[in-house]
Amino acid sequence: MSRRNKITIVGAGNVGATAAHWAVQKHLGDVVLVDIKEGMPQGKALDLAEASPVMGFDCTLTGSNSYDATAGSDVVVITAGVPRRKDPKTGKFTSRDELVEINRKIVGSVTREVVKRSPDAVLICVANPLDAMCHVMYHESGFPKERVIGMAGVLDTARYKFFISEALGVSVDDIHGMVLGGHGDTMVPLPHHTSIGGIPLPELLPKEKIDAIIERTRKGGGEIVGLLGYSGYYAPAASVIAMVESIVRDRKRVLPAACMLQGEYGYKDLFIGVPAVLGKGGVEKIIEMKLGDAEKAMLEVSAEAVRSVVELLPYDKSSN
Ligand code: APR
Same domain for 90 and 159, yes or no, is no
- CATH, residue 232: 3.90.110.10
What per-residue confidence (pLDDT) applies to 90?
86
What pLDDT, in 10s, does the model give residues 233-282? 999 999 999 999 999 999 999 999 999 999 999 999 999 999 999 999 99
* The last residue of a domain, from among 99, 128, 150: 150
Same domain for 117 and 251, yes or no, is no
Cα–Cα distance measured from residue 311 to residue 173, given in angstroms and rounded to the nearest whole number:
39
- Evaluate if residue 44 carries a pLDDT over 80: yes
Average pLDDT of span 151-159: 96
Is-contact 248 28, C-beta < 8 A? yes
What per-residue confidence (pLDDT) applies to 1?
66
In sequence order, the 6+-apart residues with CB closer than 8 A to the CB of 88 are none
Same domain for 110 and 192, yes or no, is no
* CA 289 from centre of chain: 21
Is 315 inside any structural domain?
no
Is 105 inside any structural domain?
yes
Is-contact 33 69, C-beta < 8 A? no
Ligand 1 midpoint to CA 130 (Å): 13
* The last residue of a domain, from among 121, 150, 179: 150
Is 316 inside any structural domain?
no
Same domain for 190 and 269, yes or no, is yes
Same domain for 157 and 304, yes or no, is yes
β-partners of residue 262 are 268
Same domain for 136 and 244, yes or no, is no
Same domain for 136 and 78, yes or no, is yes
Same domain for 168 and 40, yes or no, is no
Is 11 inside any structural domain?
yes
pTM of the model: 0.95
What per-residue confidence (pLDDT) applies to 183?
87
What pLDDT, in 10s, does the model give residues 299-319? 999 999 999 999 989 887 666
- Indicate the pLDDT class of residue 154, thresholds 50, 70 and 90: very high
Is-contact 192 200, C-beta < 8 A? yes
Cα–Cα distance measured from residue 1 to residue 11, given in angstroms and rounded to the nearest whole number:
31
Count of the separate structural domains present in the chain: 2
- Indicate the pLDDT class of residue 320, thresholds 50, 70 and 90: low
Largest CA distance in the chain: 58
Same domain for 82 and 218, yes or no, is no
β-partners of residue 30 are 6
- CATH, residue 27: 3.40.50.720
Same domain for 99 and 203, yes or no, is no
Is 49 inside any structural domain?
yes
| Catalytic-residue membership of 183 | yes
Is 17 inside any structural domain?
yes
Cα–Cα distance measured from residue 20 to residue 16, given in angstroms and rounded to the nearest whole number:
6
Same domain for 80 and 170, yes or no, is no
* The last residue of a domain, from among 127, 150, 173: 150
Range of the domain at 140: 6-150
Same domain for 123 and 256, yes or no, is no
Average pLDDT of span 59-78: 98
Q: For 110, phi and psi rounded to 5 degrees?
A: -60, -45
Ligand 1 midpoint to CA 3 (Å): 29
* Ligand 1, atom 20, residue with closest C-alpha: 13
Mean pLDDT of all residues belonging to the chain: 94
Q: Which residues line ligand 1 (CB under 6 A)?
A: 10-16, 34-37, 79-81, 83, 99, 103, 106, 109-110, 126-128, 231, 233
